[in-house]
A and B are shown apart, each in its own frame.
Chain A
């Protein structure tokens, strides 16, 4: 059962543009994580958000956890070709991870 829906599923933008990826669920999670996966590699953890309403920044990436801890967003400012990859959100409950459907981002130079 897929508990987390990400949108958009695919995104192709020009270098320098801004973008936002959304991760939505009807379930409450104790924390939410974002991963980036490049072709031929496993996902790599970018950030973990724990508190409802929490905002974390990682250079040009801004992550927000919804107040009700059911949804999250990832905003990228001035996207670069190196940002290209599959972005996955994962809700964590107990010791189990529930992964989102993924957003495939392509940044065109």
Chain B
């Protein structure tokens, strides 16, 4: 079956702009989590959605938001981009409801200039 698909793979934006990233989980998976990965901070948890509801949230400012649709696809939005938002954004899907095996997408490489 198809894996986790993230689009786009690469993105270059200017400071102050906003960006929307997309994640399509594995078919049947209801949980989608988002992470920010940078060389200095490692993998940082942004938020998790399960059945269209945000179930967990990390320590990121309100500029970072997300949502999940009825088909489990998820989007992440970052408004008023800052240079420090440059990172690899990873999405992981799992069955949820007690299942802890997470499957990651290839990520979206965001560069803010």
A residues sitting closer than 8 Å to B (CB atoms) are 1-2, 31, 33, 35, 40-45, 48, 88, 92, 95-102
Contact of A48 among B59, B100, B104, B107 (CB under 8 A): B100
The minimal Cβ–Cβ distance linking A6 to chain B, given in whole angstroms, is 9
Q: Is B45 at the interface (CB under 8 A from chain A)?
A: yes
Beyond A35-B104, A42-B104, A95-B55, 20 extra complex contacts between A and B, CB < 8 Å: A41-B106, A42-B4, A42-B105, A43-B104, A45-B101, A48-B100, A88-B42, A88-B43, A95-B48, A95-B56, A95-B96, A96-B45, A96-B48, A97-B33, A97-B92, A97-B102, A99-B42, A99-B44, A99-B45, A100-B42
Q: Is the CB of A96 within 8 A of B56?
A: yes
Q: Is B31 at the interface (CB under 8 A from chain A)?
A: yes
The minimal Cβ–Cβ distance linking A24 to chain B, given in whole angstroms, is 14
Residues of chain A contacted by B96 (CB below 8 angstroms): 95
The minimal Cβ–Cβ distance linking A51 to chain B, given in whole angstroms, is 14
The B interface is mostly helix, strand or loop, or mixed, namely: strand
Residues of chain A contacted by B105 (CB below 8 angstroms): 42
Instruction: State whether A95 and B35 are in contact (beta carbons under 8 Å apart), knowing that A44-B104, A100-B42 are contacts in the complex.
Output: no
Number of interface residues of B (CB under 8 A): 25
Residues of chain B contacted by A99 (CB below 8 angstroms): 35, 42-45
The minimal Cβ–Cβ distance linking B66 to chain A, given in whole angstroms, is 15
B residues sitting closer than 8 Å to A (CB atoms) are 4, 31, 33, 35, 42-45, 48, 50, 55-56, 59, 90, 92, 96, 98, 100-107
Residues of chain A contacted by B98 (CB below 8 angstroms): 95
